[in-house]
Chains A and B, each alone.
Chain A
């Protein structure tokens, strides 16, 4: 176990964590403000990735693609909110789950219909394709560091948006008493559309950037969505701070578990057995973490009002 490997895996965990935060913050914001559980959040991630890959492939510029991806995700989010989601705010959770599950089917199959089943590829932009040296001698891709930086920037921006701006004040007010802010003359419908589109844009941003690391394909949003659910359950549904801490926790535990559990089992098992058992247990690790946290705190670490 070298120091450089540890350092590299810590960075990988951090990168997964910041990406999860982009997804989880949108989910938790939508739940906190509108009380809506949205399974289709992963679809915005997929929309962002597909539009970025397609636009970047057409124009040749990653940055144009990135902008288009984020805008497309936000626009799709706003349209979905106007057409479907706003009919669900006063419904039971069961209806919300089913309607957004239906949206997943529509988005996934619709995308497959438009783009086909074979994955699209998105290249890391030229300027960020290098690698930097880490202490210990190994090299780490610049693009992954940029992803971490973007995640941190978004976290800071969200914090400022919510605590320092008028829009943030309305969002906080909407979380604590939606009838009252309606009575104070704030257009709640517009606020809801805005918050929903903001969440979708963040998911689109995550999808666009991860699209440069993995293949862009139908269904790519689903594993991330479920990880984001684990994150917000751990952090406390509705809490941005909880989403941040939960994301980092899940990102680090998942990444480090996958690397170190098999080597741990090699100490007292044959290598073949150890990699099998280790991989199987590592894939369960974050769920075990979730179960342990919920056993002590059924509402998550930083439960918001609810």
Chain B
């Protein structure tokens, strides 16, 4: 914490900024990873390897989902085991809207008539709003508790949404819902893999920028203190509960937008996007990358998707090896990939 305050003081005119070598190294790693993610699909596209462009898109989207969760877990100390609910809800908004746009039927006919649309801007807005509302409800109840209760309650709420999606027959139930035509962004051709990648990449950069900006603000300082020492925050005259709730909602919105993009990438949305394995997967990515580091999710997602692709190509049982690696990381290699690449975290 002392460093955080010193950083704030350094901004006063006249103070000579002393760069921390460790932090600088992390910044270099961050830029290198982001550059790699941007350049690799461009090269792949130039070589005509569409498969790798889509793989990079997948990494960008999964990273974004994890950036959302990282805000809750890493910065806010709220161990949500139910972020698949938001990921899936975002996906279902994209799927349902496309379904009605394709069918030319309204999404809602009462109390107002709401037609389906394939305009991504509208879909994203609706996805983010619905995730915000859902997160507000789940968060308002779950944040009354803490510790293990919080973990289990977020898990249980996500399961509730999952079972609802499975048993609700209108939108495919267990079979899921195909998106026949990828939703459109005004003025761009989203069917072009590289264009769609760039859209996802831009959304990811935006999510990273918002998280960074948020954590440098007074709100971010309050959120950090809510994690480190709740009593101290309350003593300073700031109630921890609303701070946490707002962070939880923002976190859900970011993950939900990633879900909407994911559905469009795959041309399909199903209950698997809501399952608790998905929550675990997003959490694994956050941890593999390094908890509470801005770019941790990026390195985690790269490692995860590459392992999924490479190991999954070698053996049907790749999850067994993922389990072993994860167990090893948790037991012996704390700090994740970013810990290895950029040294220990600020605070531990």
Whether a CB of chain A sits under 8 angstroms from the CB of B43 is no
Across the interface, do A229 and B319 meet the contact criterion of CB distance under 8 Å? no
User: Which of the 9-residue segments B9-17, B111-119, B164-172, B338-346 touches chain A?
Assistant: B164-172
Whether a CB of chain A sits under 8 angstroms from the CB of B253 is no
User: Which of the 9-residue segments A146-154, A208-216, A287-295 touches chain B?
Assistant: A287-295
B296 to chain A, nearest CB (A): 13
Can you list, as one digit per residue, whether each of B305-343 has a CB less than 8 Å from chain A (1) or not (0)?
000000000000101101110110011000000000000
Q: With A98-B326, A105-B320, A280-B164 given, is the CB distance from A237 to B149 under 8 Å?
A: yes
Which chain A residue lies CB-closest to B324?
Answer: A106
CA A113 to CA B160, docked complex, whole Å: 31
A114 to chain B, nearest CB (A): 10
Whether a CB of chain A sits under 8 angstroms from the CB of B155 is yes
User: Which of the 9-residue segments B30-38, B49-57, B204-212, B283-291 touches chain A?
Assistant: B283-291
Across the interface, do A93 and B148 meet the contact criterion of CB distance under 8 Å? yes
User: Which of the 9-residue segments B58-66, B90-98, B139-147, B179-187 touches chain A?
Assistant: B139-147
CA A288 to CA B79, docked complex, whole Å: 21
Whether a CB of chain A sits under 8 angstroms from the CB of B249 is no
Whether a CB of chain A sits under 8 angstroms from the CB of B157 is yes
CA A109 to CA B277, docked complex, whole Å: 14
Can you list, as one digit per residue, whether each of A278-306 has a CB less than 8 Å from chain B (1) or not (0)?
01101110011011001100111000000
Give B70-88 interface residues, CB cut-off 8 Å to A: 73, 79, 81
Whether a CB of chain A sits under 8 angstroms from the CB of B276 is yes
Interface residues on B, range: 35 or more
CA A71 to CA B264, docked complex, whole Å: 48
Whether a CB of chain B sits under 8 angstroms from the CB of A222 is yes
Whether a CB of chain B sits under 8 angstroms from the CB of A87 is yes
Can you list, as one digit per residue, whether each of A71-93 has a CB less than 8 Å from chain B (1) or not (0)?
00000000000001001000001
**Chain B residues within 8 Å of A99, by CB:** 326-327, 330-331
CA A229 to CA B82, docked complex, whole Å: 13
Across the interface, do A105 and B319 meet the contact criterion of CB distance under 8 Å? yes
Across the interface, do A229 and B323 meet the contact criterion of CB distance under 8 Å? no
Whether a CB of chain A sits under 8 angstroms from the CB of B101 is no
Whether a CB of chain A sits under 8 angstroms from the CB of B219 is no
CA A103 to CA B326, docked complex, whole Å: 9
Whether a CB of chain B sits under 8 angstroms from the CB of A94 is yes
Across the interface, do A233 and B159 meet the contact criterion of CB distance under 8 Å? no
CA A279 to CA B167, docked complex, whole Å: 6
Whether a CB of chain A sits under 8 angstroms from the CB of B303 is no
Q: With A276-B169, A295-B141, A298-B144 given, is the CB distance from A97 to B149 under 8 Å?
A: no
Give A100-147 interface residues, CB cut-off 8 Å to B: 101-106, 108-110, 112-113
**Chain B residues within 8 Å of A294, by CB:** 141, 144-145, 149, 153
**Chain A residues within 8 Å of B331, by CB:** 84, 87, 99
Whether a CB of chain A sits under 8 angstroms from the CB of B163 is yes
B79 to chain A, nearest CB (A): 5
Which chain B residue lies CB-closest to A292?
Answer: B141
Can you list, as one digit per residue, whether each of A212-237 has a CB less than 8 Å from chain B (1) or not (0)?
00000000001000100110110001
List 8 tightest A-B contacts by C-beta distance, closest first. A105-B323, A109-B320, A287-B160, A283-B163, A106-B323, A102-B326, A102-B327, A102-B323
Q: Which residues of B contact A (CB under 8 A)?
A: 73, 79, 81, 141, 144-145, 147-149, 151-153, 155-157, 159-160, 163-164, 166-170, 276, 280, 283-284, 287, 291, 317, 319-320, 322-324, 326-327, 330-331
Q: Which residues of A contact B (CB under 8 A)?
A: 31, 37, 84, 87, 93-95, 97-99, 101-106, 108-110, 112-113, 222, 226, 229-230, 232-233, 237, 276, 279-280, 282-284, 287-288, 290-291, 294-295, 298-300
6 A–B pairs (Cβ distance < 8 Å), ordered by A: A87-B331, A98-B326, A99-B330, A102-B323, A108-B319, A276-B167
